Copies of this chain bind each other. A is one copy, B any other.
Amino acid sequence: MTGPRYPALIESLPETVPFVGPEVQERARGKKFRARLGANESVFGPSPFAVAAMQDEAAEIWKYADPSHAELKDALAVSLGCGPQNIVLGEGIDGLLGYTVRLLVAPGDAVVTSDGAYPTFNYHVAGYGGVLHKVPYRDDAEDLGALFAKAAEVDAKLVYLANPDNPMGSWHSGHAIEKALAHLPEGCVLALDEAYVEFAPHGAIPEIDIEDDRVIRFRTFSKGYGMAGARVGYAFGNARFIKAFDKIRNHFSMNRVAYAGALAALQDQDWLEEVQQLVAEAKAGIGRIAEANGLTPLPSATNFVAVDCGRDGAFARRVLAALAEEGVFVRMPFVAPQDRCIRISAGRAEDLAVLAEALPKALAAARG
């Protein structure tokens, strides 16, 4: 029996999981986390109107969602100031990044990202046989100049930039990105991941002509809108490029309840503002807890804080493990020197109380 015959590319891929979910860790530990602050989810939840819309729609789940996503694209078009033909919806930014890589990257094609940036992007590049080139962070931020210079050097078809950045929380001004775009080489597309844009300060959003086919931007209902479990992301940009997603996307991948929730969430901008305020307060709280323990919170334009533990990656990993022992789920950057940090998502007062209690113990355990 020969069994399934995998193409060489598939044979070469590891059976990776880009992120292990907290539930897997909870199963292994035999108990639940007391504070879930590791996945940059919004513990403040979605708009109550979105929850109500989802509850109303639950009984309608027997119908497929509209695969053209017309109503939600119309609503997003108004808020983005573009046309519905400039928008494609998908299974979170993760799904859309996969489609983007598939649209552009053939085996052997060069792609550029930062060393330590979003691993799921790298997963997709590997999955389609792309050759990934990484440039280091600079002062805990993605290095615009180095990214685009590397893209030119290796003739990249695609370059990835998250602004604001995950996992460090740093950001570039929109103006800096606009200026840097002059150095994006011809034939290279910038995938601009703006998952955390709702938490960014004014001025962090570049002004880019919607029909500029050098850039495709990604946003999501997972972070600011508090609907990570819904899997509703969107990409927007040049209409011809956006239309190309219809060649390969899973047209019927959208959950109908999530779709109704996203529509309602988008209408409730008051809730978003409230969440922005709560996140700002929570980040200040995380900062105070970090400093009270002799650690350094880094500035953040996201819904999390990268906390510099002051030593190396091995030490931060011990802190992380000890926090898990104390019932606190957090994650950390994968790559040095960013891996001197742990990454703590904004939490409610009760979550931060658990953190405040657990962190000194975790540090003692990590040091001892």
Contact = CB atoms under 8 A, between A and B. Distances in A.
A15 B249 CA distance: 10
B244 A15 contact: yes
Contacts of A58: 51, 54-55, 58, 257, 261
Most buried by B among A50, A187, A226, A257: A257
Given A17-B251, A46-B62, A105 B187 contact: no
A24 interface: yes
A16 B247 contact: yes
A80 interface: no
A367 B16 CA distance: 58
A91 B250 contact: yes
Contacts of A66: 21, 23-24
Contacts of A5: 104, 157, 187
Contact of A247 (B14, B27, B46, B70): B14
Nearest to A2: B187
A37 to B, nearest CB: 12
Interface string A319-358: 0000000000000000000000000000000000000000
Most buried by B among A13, A58, A70, A241: A58
Interface stretch (A141-149, A192-200, A227-235): A227-235
Interface in A56-72: 58-68, 70
A103 interface: yes
B62 A3 contact: no
Nearest to A189: B4
A1 interface: yes
A248 interface: yes
B70 A228 contact: no
Q: In which size bucket is the chain A interface? A: 35 or more
Contacts of A247: 10, 13-16, 127
Most buried by B among A14, A24, A243, A253: A253
Contact of A248 (B10, B228, B241): B10
Interface in A1-50: 1-10, 13-21, 23-24, 27, 36, 39, 41-46, 50
A365 interface: no
A23 B127 contact: no
Interface string A217-257: 00000100011111100000010010110111011111111
Given A1-B214, A55-B58, A226-B62, A231 B255 contact: yes
Interface stretch (A92-100, A132-140, A280-288, A310-318): A92-100
A275 B67 CA distance: 26
A61 B16 CA distance: 25
Given A9-B106, A227-B61, A229-B65, A250 B51 contact: no
Nearest to A106: B7
Contacts of A104: 4-7, 10
A186 interface: yes
A213 interface: yes
A91 B253 contact: yes
A59 B58 CA distance: 13
A185 B47 CA distance: 55
A33 B280 CA distance: 47
In the complex, the 10 A-B pairs of residues with the closest C-beta atoms, listed nearest first: A229-B256, A7-B106, A23-B66, A13-B247, A2-B187, A54-B58, A15-B246, A255-B255, A61-B229, A55-B55
6 contacts: A1-B186, A17-B68, A54-B55, A62-B229, A63-B228, A91-B253
